[in-house]
Amino acid sequence: MGVAVRPQAPRHWFRLSIPPVIFALLLLYLSARSLGVRSGCGLGAQACVPEGTAPFQVRQESGPPEAPERKEPPCLGPQGMLGRMMRPFRASLNPEGDVGLSPYLAGWRALVEEAFTKVTALEARVHGRDAEHYLSLVAMAAWELRTGLLEQPGAVPRDPARSSGSRTLLLLHRALRWSQLCLHRVATGVLGGPDAGAQCSDAYSAALGPHHPWLVRQAAHLAFLAFPGRRRLLELACPGTTEAEARAALARAAGTLEDVYNRTQGLLAERSLLQLA
């Protein structure tokens, strides 16, 4: 009598079980490693460091990020990874105190490097037949409230693809908080303290863990075991700079995300939308 063998889980199960931004950062790290092995260059044309040149000058001091001693690092420029990620997020903070949805989503696409389901679903509304009502967070919330598109607080839609734009934005909003905390802690971590994986794992527990079921939390913490160390993350984020410069650049990126998060948090709270999911 043979032993029954359970069929293998689909290969995409692990990917779908991990919060998208965590998987994306891991994918970014692994793809960057592969690119570096083949070409000897980092991410982005301006960030390429010729083979044989130390891509990252480590300084012994650690602690809060210091002001760069030279011009802005290429990683914060138009072709740099951090610059490409933060530029649309900064653009989403319009002068009226609202959050523009199109640049917000463009920032997310740059941040996660892939078109994940939540971004795609909300983009379908931003560019769909009712696009005039999805120019900003305030306009979207007002339209969905007026037309009865908002779910009851805590209700889980049968088809996530049909979630309201406000609910989808709330889920992205929480993930953005994790990203901001992770970047900030990597930028300001002290020498000899917890490494990047542990710090980003703690940030996940604070920002996203409370909203995820046990299985997803376990998968997420397993994913953090594959995180590179702080030095390697700083190299990938801002190649060709000193540690102090990379830390300062990462702290500035975290500051941009914090500005977007704080404004979005306030607008959602004013409209009692923080309990949608």
pLDDT surpasses 80 at 7: no
d(CA 31, CA 238): 16
pLDDT at 20: 45
Q: Which of 17-31, 100-114, 126-140, 191-205 has the lowest mean pLDDT?
A: 17-31
pLDDT of residue 128: 93
pLDDT attached to residue 138: 96
65 SS3 class: coil
210: closest CA among 157, 163, 277, 273?
A: 277
Q: Which tokens sit at 149? A: 């598109």
In the predicted model, what is the mean pLDDT of residues 81-91? 85
> Which residue shows structure tokens 């523009």?
100
**What's 219-269 look like in SS3?**
HHHHHHCCCCCHHHHHHHHCCCEEHHHHHHHHHHHHHHHHHHHHHHHHHHH
Rg (CA), the chain: 20
What are the start-end ranges of the H helices in the chain?
Answer: 12-17, 20-39, 81-92, 101-112, 117-126, 137-146, 165-188, 196-207, 214-224, 230-237, 243-270
The yes or no reply on domain 19-29+71-270 and CATH 1.10.3520.10 is yes
Q: What is the pLDDT of residues 14-39, one digit of tens each?
A: 333 344 445 445 444 443 333 333 33
Collapsing DSSP states into helix, strand and coil, what is residue 93? strand
56, β-bridge pairs: 241
Q: How far is Cα of residue 160 from the mean position of the Cα atoms in its chain?
A: 20
| Residues 142-154 pLDDT 10s | 999 999 999 888 7
Answer whether residue 50 shows pLDDT above 60.
Answer: no
pLDDT in tens, 214-238: 877 887 787 788 778 888 888 888 8
